[in-house]
């Protein structure tokens, strides 16, 4: 078994973070987490991560996007896949097509998952985006 992959988890709900952390750790991932966009950016500056899972809405409505954009502006981090976890889509019908490369580029996000997220779906997305 090679190097354990590290996942950055960002969500303002401590219990949600804890539950996802358990899922990922059980699957063999190393997890670091933050409650705010600010803390997340601080974590990204000091440790290398393979995948970032961000909540769309934290203390500010688009904090998830803020972190994603920060990631994209750092040359050494541009390759880190970003998964946006959000509860917005169901209610508002706000759905972004992920098939188009331009759309993906504009959003700086590689995948969207609905909250609550099924552990199986989340693990499959991480596998797919981090290249197995």
Residues in contact with other proteins by CB under 8 A are 12-16, 18-20, 22-23, 26, 35-36, 39, 57-59, 87, 91, 115-120
Q: Which is nearer to other proteins, 94 or 106 (CB)?
A: 94
- Rounded to a whole number of angstroms, the minimum distance from the CB of residue 85 to other proteins is 9
What is the arrangement of strands in the sheet containing 82-86, beginning at the earlier edge strand? 30-34, 6-10, 51-55, 82-86, 111-114
Between 32 and 72, CB nearer to other proteins: 32
CA-closest candidate to residue 64, choices 93, 94, 25 = 94
Structure tokens at 8: 């950055």
Nearer to other proteins, 16 or 70 (CB): 16
DSSP category for residue 61: T
């Amino acid at each position: 078994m090679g190097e354990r992959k590290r996942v950055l988890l960002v969500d303002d709900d401590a219990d949600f973070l804890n539950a996802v952390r358990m899922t990922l750790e059980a699957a063999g991932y190393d997890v670091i987490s933050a409650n705010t966009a600010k803390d997340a950016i601080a974590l990204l500056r000091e440790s290398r991560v393979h995948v970032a899972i961000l909540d769309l809405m934290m203390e500010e409505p688009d904090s998830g996007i803020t972190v994603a954009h920060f990631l994209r502006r750092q040359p050494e981090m541009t390759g880190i896949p970003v998964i946006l976890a959000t509860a917005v889509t169901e209610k508002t019908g706000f759905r972004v097509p992920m098939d188009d490369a331009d759309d993906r580029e504009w959003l700086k996000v590689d995948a969207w998952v609905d909250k609550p997220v099924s552990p199986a779906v989340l693990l499959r997305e991480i596998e797919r985006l981090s290249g197995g």
